[in-house]
Chains A and B, each alone.
Chain A
Amino acid sequence: MDIQTKKAGEVIVLEITGRIDAFTSEKLEAELHSIMNAGKLKFVINFEKTNYISSSGLRVFLGSHKKLSENKGQIKFSNMPDPVLKVFALAGFDKIFEIYSTEKEALEDFNETESEPKKQNYA
């Protein structure tokens, strides 16, 4: 598993390549905790290149979600391939996590919740 980290304003985006399982989830957890301990509160996890996730992976995200919620932070998810979405949905995590089709939509949602009243979009 490989983690690419980038910044989008105040939001930290993590792109995860490969498998998130009982072994690699420890590395993922360490990375998330390290960034949170540096004071970052806004995360988007991009799953475009993730091909597998186990319950250990879900546990890392649940733990991050709980920790961030206590500190008024947030974690959002994007670009889930079907096998990954299926694992989230089976555990019911699609009901508690914000899951977006694209990274752009997830980042826009962070911006919208902070900005002035929304502009109208006229189609």
Chain B
Amino acid sequence: MPDGIQKLGKLFRLFEKPGEPSFTVNELELAQEIQANLLPKDFPLNQKIDIGALYKASKYIGGDFYDVIQIDDRKIAFVIGDVSGKSLHAALFMTQCLTLLKVFIKMDLNILKIIEKTNQMLFELVKTDMFATVFIGIYDTHYHQLSYVNAGHNPPLLLRTSVEIPAKDYHPMTMLTAEGIALNCIANMVLEEKRIQLYEGDIFLLYTDGLLDATNEFEEEFGEAKLKGLITELRDLPSQAMAEKILERIQDYSKNSKTESDDMAALVIKFKEEK
């Protein structure tokens, strides 16, 4: 097992004892900075794909994560995930998940192997009740196909904007579901791999449940229907502008809520014309 991962495991076990130690604001701010540095700032293959991101931790540190990883000159991986809980414990587990996923993705393994090996390592190393839901999509820019697996995460939304595609599986709005179970629940998991053909103009939204669970002053959740309506309304914006607008609108919706908000993360991905 790589040395870095062993050390992370030891560090993690410090927080398993009852009565989690309290931390100063400076320490939490430092943890926030470390987490922010884990998240990508620039996105690859931007002549083929336009990517935008939103991220908001509910407190200093969060359990949500996302990543965009270039595997080779034509394949790119999209990851989004959510760790149960909002403590420093959850944040450490989050860094562990993301690091493992990134390592196995970079090795260019089959998508099922990526998630199975990540789960096996976590289950071996992290003896805790924490779990993480994760969606991984690997896009082949040559064939315009997306392979994906879903380990218990909210199914991403795919909005088709072209009305001219005659394919049988073409629907204006699709949710990318696949059978699976969250990470670190059982030792050996069996998931379903699916594939979908993508077309120019398609818009892909990966998100965490914080976007759906945001409530207004009447404790009404923002919900899936409003999110679908929102991405349809904003579809002509560039991806980053779209992501920022989504965050702005949800924050506005929940500004008078009595319930504390959850972490929020999303990736907006637009597939461009092949030139």
Contact = CB atoms under 8 A, between A and B. Distances in A.
B84 A56 contact: yes
B129 A60 contact: yes
Given A55-B82, A63-B129, A96 B185 contact: yes
| Chain B CB within 10 Å, residue with most, of A55, A60, A63, A95 | A55
Interface in B130-147: 130-131, 133
A55 B133 CA distance: 10
Contacts of A62: 129, 131, 185
Contact of B130 (A59, A95, A96): A59
B85 A59 contact: yes
B152 A91 contact: yes
B152 A59 contact: no
A59 B180 contact: no
Contacts of B85: 22, 55-56, 59
A18 to B, nearest CB: 13
A75 to B, nearest CB: 12
| Chain B CB within 10 Å, residue with most, of A62, A63, A64 | A62
Chain A interface category by residue count: 10 to 19
Contacts of B130: 59
B181 A96 contact: yes
B131 A91 contact: yes
A62 B213 CA distance: 22
Interface string A72-115: 00000000000000000011110110000000000000000000
A8 to B, nearest CB: 26
A9 B271 CA distance: 60
Contacts of A1: none
Interface of B: 82, 84-86, 128-131, 133, 151-154, 179-182, 185-186, 209, 213, 260, 262
Interface of A: 22, 54-56, 58-60, 62-64, 66, 90-93, 95-96
Given A55-B85, A92-B182, 5 more contacts: A22-B85, A90-B152, A91-B131, A91-B152, A93-B182
